[in-house]
Amino acid sequence: MRSLIDTTDQTTFPPGPGMSVRRLAARGWLVPLFIAFSQLAFAGAADAAAAKNSAPAEAAAKPKAAPTAFELQLLYADRTWNWKNGAAYFGLDRRLRAWTAGQDKPAIGEGRWLLTDTGKMCMELAWRGKTYTTKPQRTCYSHRVESGNIEQRKDPDGEWYDFKHAKDDPADEHRKFEDGNTKGAQFDETRKLVDSKG
């Protein structure tokens, strides 16, 4: 009975001392293998060169980057966002206090704010006026970075607008932010108006 594995010198690879690659190639079985390996090596080198050349195009086609939660923390924490008829204070402890006094209808909102690593800042506020109280409602804003500037939009489908340029711009929404709880006294006054019986 013949063995399935031939152990003679003629079939050893790499070739033994009296055996050349040319002699094995002449037998025919090494030629297709050599051609296949050559084609694979050439294709691999061509693919690597193509990937290297297309890297700038792929980078340019990437979607805009979102600021991290840490970067957003630097923009919001311990700051007051001033509105036309009110403001909101983003506490370091993630508590959020807001007030509005529009059209003789004072209201206060209390809740929390949160950040994500996908560039979102969300406010969860329960509003209270003289005649109503709401359950906590979530309002989120998305942020993205474009050419070093931060853009913002109200979710889910608001228009993108400039939030903060790399160099301060008077039109930036972030210019409406002040360091610290600058409107705490107005919040307390509004709370008194909301809680008054008269």
CB 64 within 8 A of CB 160: no
- Domain tally, the chain: 2
Is 48 in the same domain as 99?
no
Range of the domain at 181: 69-195
Is 141 in the same domain as 89?
yes
Range with the lowest mean pLDDT among 62-76, 88-102, 115-129? 62-76
Position with higher pLDDT, 78 vs 14:
78
Q: What residues are paired with 153 via a beta bridge?
A: 142
pLDDT value, residue 8:
39
Is 49 in the same domain as 83?
no
Q: Is the residue at 2 inside a domain?
A: no
CB 104 within 8 A of CB 110: no
Residue 149: both structure tokens together: 């500037």
pLDDT value, residue 198:
61
Is 33 in the same domain as 117?
no
Mean pLDDT of 31-38: 42
Ranges of H-type helices in 62-147: 69-76
Which domain-ending residue is among 20, 42, 61?
61
Is 138 in the same domain as 166?
yes
Is 53 in the same domain as 92?
no
Is 161 in the same domain as 184?
yes
Is 80 in the same domain as 149?
yes
Which domain-ending residue is among 44, 61, 78?
61
Is 95 in the same domain as 35?
no
Which domain-ending residue is among 17, 39, 61?
61
